[in-house]
Structure 1
């Protein structure tokens, strides 16, 4: 058991005594809520994933606990490396199909689907267990990486990105939920932020490895190689969970299977996951945001039938989703009740606004640094990743501050002005000819404030729900972030595809105006001539004009953060953890 100080107790852990104290969960009971919707109590089938984890922590040792932390850190390391390599190569992959402008479009669909799917994954791991969800996430990543390694057109690459991103989001989400299961609230962010520290290495190593693969081999081998490495490092985590789950079953701590047939199980999960609701909300957000980026790339205008139909169907889908959830869904897909808590709502909105603001000006930033500043793939990604590097570096220190201070709201309020300052300075310095050092400084400021805001908001959210609802609360948090980033990408893509082609035609010398389309479609064509030549300078001028608009739009959204953070309750996590140490086994 965890000691009063919040660390693992040094006294010997008596597995048999703990097993005797732990009661196997009773059979499934479903109660009718006040609104007529089905509600499952804490001991229902909906809680079996939680019960399995509690059973595992009831039987494992302190050594197993710390070994699991190390194994999860290694998986996070390899996943972060794969993500860093993928991000550095993406502009060149889309350019290889002469579709560089679709970079934002591909990410819009992937991020929305990834965010929505986490709600289903949250239900899945609460019903089936963390191990099954972990394996499923690896399967999605595997499918995505194989498709990327074999893709021959941008359509296949776009589909592969969806598989990869959903799997990547799911893997990170399940790791977070599992860490939440095996930590106390006071110490949780310490492990969360330590699991993010691999990014300190991958920020530098990823772009270099991507560059080596790009010049020495190709992007296909990069994806294949690191997929194999990820699977190798993930296998021990599955082994640990399987071994201790099996041990818990032998001690009678995990209830037997439901006894349903396959057909009955399929019907049960279709209803319980609210498949129709998931489809409606995914279609709604995707169809509303995609047109912003597709208008110019598809040679359509806002008056074209295809664009209008997409927007109309998107709006209708969202309205249908709300009607379905309120009046017809046997089990609601989206847990609206949790958003009645102002801290949960405010924390989720904080994450939404941070991602929305950032991805408006960040979507094409790597391309900007290479085209305008003449940086290499690796160096441009160092500058780009200074944002996340700072957030990951300061994260553990912020978590330690929380552990001893206990408060999350007012430190988050203090971070908002820093975020505003960093973004406002980007407006001033993101112009052709500006020193790269100033751009890096801005990334550091924004990264530091983002690290504070995301750490504090996620902790505030988890402190506002009980253990039974942690998975779904984190899923809501992730959904708000995914929708925020996808809208940010949509705005960036809309500015890019609607303005950059015209500016290229305007600024290119007369003899090169007929090359505007090919230059727009490929980052390699944009850098074909050296800086100082008329064509390259015209491209730089067009980039500068468009990027300045992006930063202004992103910065204008930040003041809403003040409202989002202000509505949090001033929760003290030091006082909230006393009750959670009971009946949760050997946790940190």
Structure 2
């Protein structure tokens, strides 16, 4: 509470006036702080939060720096892996003759990865950060091993889903750990710095992917990263567990026994993690969105029985999820109280719309660059990743800017015209005759806009809550991003699979029309035709037509970003009286 100003009889009128002004100023700061919190700050912390608060209270500055460095190494290897597998994905799906199913692989994994964050948020809040970190590492390793040994597109889809859930979860836990170790005004600087490994992976990833593809195969790539990933993750866990033991010995942390039997514990966590809720929400989005990518492969298209069944079940799962959460769930999967806060709604919607717009055209952009512009894996990766490269470079810079000004609402507004310009320029420049340098420029503009959205959006939602709620609100934020990405990928997949093959067939000469299906199914086959041939002309024309339609769809969603940011509260993080962290933090 604001301290009271006591004025004695001897105080002069001028001094009294000065003290009164200070009191009014303090009151304004206090009210501004209170307005920034969606609900009353938590006075009780769950086990995982208490544990990390005790750890940060017991470690030295050297240990703090060491953990920062170790987490940076984890992010480095993870970013490199994402870049490598992203470059190899079109070739892997083509190897199974299913290049068109590229977005199906993404839709399932993206939805499950996003929705699992809320369950993971409960794991790290109840059990601890290290436990969640190790659990995600295990899932990621299993997924990578499966990817290295897969023998069909179905097995690869399942493997990629496991890997992506682990990847999303691991990155999420790293973000939460960094939030535990930083003050609100410094947080986006450290989160931005932690993203800078993407600068290296932008250039190294495609080159490494090309070397594996040319000299070994994609299986060896995944196998090698299993070893590297485990090697950088274990030291983080060791340091955190050692610091936890120190906190226990110093008396800052005490162990509490639940008193439950193993069966009671299973039931307790089944309820606590709302397993029914996560199944319903995952099934809803998966069953609704996947048919858009696979309908073209059905015997009767959209009239195929299993396509209809998936859509019907998916639609039914939506009200089923609401009814379960509203009337039956003892512990809600989605904490509705946070979605009543305008800044929370706007930030989450902005993140979702941003990903929807980008993924509507970006999903097949790598294939477009390699087939139409004849770029190799490495160069295509450079152009594609210039989008994320821009974000990695400017995130720490925008973090410093926010630390200096304390403002994030007006900062995010600057990203809207940049994002709109970059996306709009895609329409006239999505032509086979466009120079690759211009395509890279549009990627940079879009990346700059999305960087502002991400940095400001994350900070906006964290400024609304206390330390206890940080993990949950970031999970909700990530869920909206995953839903947006999944919807965008579904749109891209639907357009690709329902337009491209027909365009190729229509543009091919009569003597080659029977090859349309095999050409459509493999990017390697598409690139095998010589320049000037009738087949290549048909392929390039089909690619250009569908890509242009994709970017038009993406542009249509950009104006929604203005509405998403309009309702944000203009909170100055430098003037917040509350703090979310404790102990030796930066």
Matches within 5 A, 1:24-173: 42-43=43-44, 47-173=46-172
Match of 2:499, SS state, is helix
More deviation, 509-518/366-375: 509-518
User: Does structure 1 conserve the Cα–Cα contact (< 8 Å) formed by 2:41 and 2:466?
Assistant: no
User: By how many angstroms is 1:378 displaced?
Assistant: 0.5
User: Does structure 2 conserve the Cα–Cα contact (< 8 Å) formed by 1:348 and 1:477?
Assistant: yes
Residue equivalent to 1:507: 507
Q: Between Structure 1 and Structure 2, whose CA radius of gyration is higher?
A: 2
Deviations 1:311-366 (A, max 9, x none): 11111111100001000111111111101011011101110011000000000000
Give the ranges of 4+ consecutive aligned residues of structure 1 lying more than 3 Å apart after TM superposition.
39-42
Deviations 1:68-106 (A, max 9, x none): 001100100000001110100000001110010100011
Asked whether 1:587 is paired with 2:585, we answer yes
Matches within 5 A, 1:271-286: 271-286=271-286
User: Does structure 2 conserve the Cα–Cα contact (< 8 Å) formed by 1:207 and 1:381?
Assistant: yes
More deviation, 165-174/295-304: 295-304
**How far apart, CA to CA, are the structure 2 residues paired with 1:461 and 1:550?**
31
**How far apart, CA to CA, are the structure 2 residues paired with 1:189 and 1:285?**
31
Deviations 1:371-399 (A, max 9, x none): 00000001001001110001111111100
Residue equivalent to 2:207: 208
Asked whether 1:525 is paired with 2:525, we answer yes
Match of 1:428, SS state, is helix
TM-score by length of 1: 0.91
Gaps of 5+ in 1: 1-38
**How far apart, CA to CA, are the structure 2 residues paired with 1:460 and 1:549?**
34
User: Does structure 1 conserve the Cα–Cα contact (< 8 Å) formed by 2:147 and 2:160?
Assistant: yes
Residue equivalent to 2:223: 224
RMSD: 1.3
Residue equivalent to 1:490: 490
Match of 1:492, SS state, is helix
User: By how many angstroms is 1:304 displaced?
Assistant: 2.6
Residue equivalent to 1:321: 321
Deviations 1:117-146 (A, max 9, x none): 000000010000000000001001100000
Asked whether 1:414 is paired with 2:423, we answer no
Matches within 5 A, 1:314-463: 314-463=314-463
Match of 2:303, SS state, is coil
**How far apart, CA to CA, are the structure 1 residues paired with 2:427 and 2:254?**
57
Residue equivalent to 1:261: 261
Match of 1:580, SS state, is coil
**How far apart, CA to CA, are the structure 2 residues paired with 1:144 and 1:54?**
32
Residue equivalent to 2:179: 180
**How far apart, CA to CA, are the structure 1 residues paired with 2:463 and 2:354?**
20
User: Does structure 2 conserve the Cα–Cα contact (< 8 Å) formed by 1:189 and 1:455?
Assistant: yes
Residue equivalent to 2:290: 290
**How far apart, CA to CA, are the structure 2 residues paired with 1:40 and 1:408?**
22
Matched length: 546
**How far apart, CA to CA, are the structure 1 residues paired with 2:510 and 2:458?**
53
**How far apart, CA to CA, are the structure 1 residues paired with 2:522 and 2:486?**
22
User: By how many angstroms is 1:414 displaced?
Assistant: 1.4
User: By how many angstroms is 1:300 displaced?
Assistant: 3.6
User: Does structure 2 conserve the Cα–Cα contact (< 8 Å) formed by 1:51 and 1:254?
Assistant: no
Match of 1:320, SS state, is helix
Match of 2:393, SS state, is helix
**How far apart, CA to CA, are the structure 2 residues paired with 1:175 and 1:128?**
16
User: By how many angstroms is 1:250 displaced?
Assistant: 1.9
Match of 1:527, SS state, is helix
Deviations 1:38-93 (A, max 9, x none): x997536xx11110000001100011001100110010000000111010000000
Deviations 1:142-190 (A, max 9, x none): 0000000000111110000110000000000000011111110000001
User: Does structure 1 conserve the Cα–Cα contact (< 8 Å) formed by 2:42 and 2:468?
Assistant: no
User: Does structure 2 conserve the Cα–Cα contact (< 8 Å) formed by 1:110 and 1:166?
Assistant: yes
User: By how many angstroms is 1:235 displaced?
Assistant: 1.1
Residue equivalent to 2:468: 468
Deviations 1:222-266 (A, max 9, x none): 011011011101111001111011111222323323232211110
Residue equivalent to 2:10: none
**How far apart, CA to CA, are the structure 1 residues paired with 2:203 and 2:217?**
19
In structure 2, the CA distance between the partners of 1:111 and 1:42, relative to structure 1 (3 Å rule), is farther
**How far apart, CA to CA, are the structure 2 residues paired with 1:534 and 1:409?**
53
**How far apart, CA to CA, are the structure 2 residues paired with 1:128 and 1:467?**
16
User: Does structure 2 conserve the Cα–Cα contact (< 8 Å) formed by 1:415 and 1:452?
Assistant: yes
User: Does structure 2 conserve the Cα–Cα contact (< 8 Å) formed by 1:338 and 1:344?
Assistant: yes
Residue equivalent to 1:557: 557
User: By how many angstroms is 1:489 displaced?
Assistant: 0.2
Residue equivalent to 1:233: 232
Residue equivalent to 1:247: 246
User: By how many angstroms is 1:481 displaced?
Assistant: 0.4
Deviations 1:7-56 (A, max 9, x none): xxxxxxxxxxxxxxxxxxxxxxxxxxxxxxxx997536xx1111000000
**How far apart, CA to CA, are the structure 2 residues paired with 1:423 and 1:41?**
41
User: Does structure 1 conserve the Cα–Cα contact (< 8 Å) formed by 2:361 and 2:492?
Assistant: yes
Match of 2:301, SS state, is coil
User: By how many angstroms is 1:571 displaced?
Assistant: 1.2
Deviations 1:448-484 (A, max 9, x none): 1111111011111111111110000000011000000
**How far apart, CA to CA, are the structure 1 residues paired with 2:316 and 2:457?**
32
More deviation, 205-214/296-305: 296-305
**How far apart, CA to CA, are the structure 2 residues paired with 1:273 and 1:226?**
31
Match of 1:465, SS state, is coil
Match of 1:569, SS state, is coil
User: Does structure 2 conserve the Cα–Cα contact (< 8 Å) formed by 1:294 and 1:300?
Assistant: no
